[in-house]
Amino acid sequence: MENSLSPASITNNLKTRLVGQRVTYYPTLTSTMDVARQEAQQRAAEGTVVIVGEQTAGKGRIKRTWLSPKGNLALSIILYPNVAHLPSLIMLASLALVHSIETVTGLKSQVKWPNDVLVNGRKVCGILIESQVRGNTVDYAIIGIGVNVNLKTADFPEIHPTATSLSDELGREIPLLDIIQQVLVEIERLYLVLLAGESIYEEWRDNLVTLGREVQVTSGEAMYTGVAESVARDGSLLLRHRDGSLTKIVAGDATLRDDK
């Protein structure tokens, strides 16, 4: 299925004006983020997509690796947003994936703060946002997306307990091109919503599986536990501790305490 991927197949009948109108495709690559960064520094057209058939050194948050063998989706999208829109990019990408998964597969998914998408409580997507900002000017922003599409997680014991794939959930292979095109359509739709001055915060908040749950959050060298009470409009997590105090966590990694 993935062998038929090409820039032409992705852009053909793609119903976008911006995102995905320029696509660079590589059969194998260390990381789409590295190539996208080079393209962005050369001012590639906004909406340029870097996509790979097999990513050998994919990066997740906090210097983690992201497994992306053939059959999975790994892509990066270059944008040039206003600095005010930067905090919304993680929300945008999360919602785009939730919508795309349901449209293509019928599966319901939820967002785990800050950057994971879960199906039936297990991770199916990861998101990485990278930007270069000087003062109040955004040189570029890159949305990196990884989706376990046609991955047999049982073949990878290191992730099997906590991860799933769309094909694992449905018991059949999913057309990779359908997922790619739908993700690009949803990214553009939500990006245009932001550019029009509208908010996607409320919908993102309402899709968070984290809220109301007891969590453990690692932020830098610090570790916090408490109930994820809410999220601020900038995407920060508001954590209520047992003593009643409240901590605002701008960036971190949250684990649901009842995760197995």
Q: What is the biggest distance separating any 2 CA atoms in the chain, rounded to whole angstroms? A: 58
Residues 75 and 11 both lie in one domain: yes
pLDDT value of position 201: 95
Closest to 224 measured CA to CA, from 248, 260, 194, 258 = 248
Residues 59 and 73 both lie in one domain: yes
Residues 161 and 243 both lie in one domain: no
| CATH number of the domain residue 109 falls in | 3.30.930.10
Closest to 104 measured CA to CA, from 140, 62, 73, 60 = 73
pLDDT value of position 2: 46
Contact (Cβ atoms closer than 8 angstroms) between residue 132 and residue 139: yes
User: Model-level pTM greater than 0.75?
Assistant: yes
Kindly state the helix (H) or strand (E) to which residue 209 belongs, with its residue range. Answer: none
Q: In the structure, what pLDDT confidence band is assigned to residue 256 with cuts at 50, 70 and 90?
A: confident
Domain boundaries, position 130: 2-205
Residues 218 and 199 both lie in one domain: no
Residues 197 and 124 both lie in one domain: yes
Sheet order of strands, 237-240 included: 246-249, 237-240, 222-231, 214-219, 253-256
pLDDT value of position 260: 42
Q: In the structure, what pLDDT confidence band is assigned to residue 1 with cuts at 50, 70 and 90?
A: very low
Residues 55 and 116 both lie in one domain: yes
Q: Convert the pLDDT of each residue in 135-189 to its tens digit.
A: 889 999 999 999 999 998 888 888 878 899 999 999 999 999 999 999 999 999 9
pLDDT value of position 66: 53
Query: Tokens in use for 142?
Result: 């890159």
Domain boundary among 170, 186, 205: 205
Closest to 95 measured CA to CA, from 61, 127, 142 = 127
Contact (Cβ atoms closer than 8 angstroms) between residue 180 and residue 150: no
Q: Which residue has the higher pLDDT, 70 or 234?
A: 234
Contact (Cβ atoms closer than 8 angstroms) between residue 31 and residue 37: no
Q: In the structure, what pLDDT confidence band is assigned to residue 58 with cuts at 50, 70 and 90?
A: low
Return the SS3 of 47: coil
Residues 223 and 139 both lie in one domain: no
Closest to 190 measured CA to CA, from 43, 222, 182 = 182
| CATH number of the domain residue 218 falls in | 2.30.30.100
Overall domain count for the chain: 2
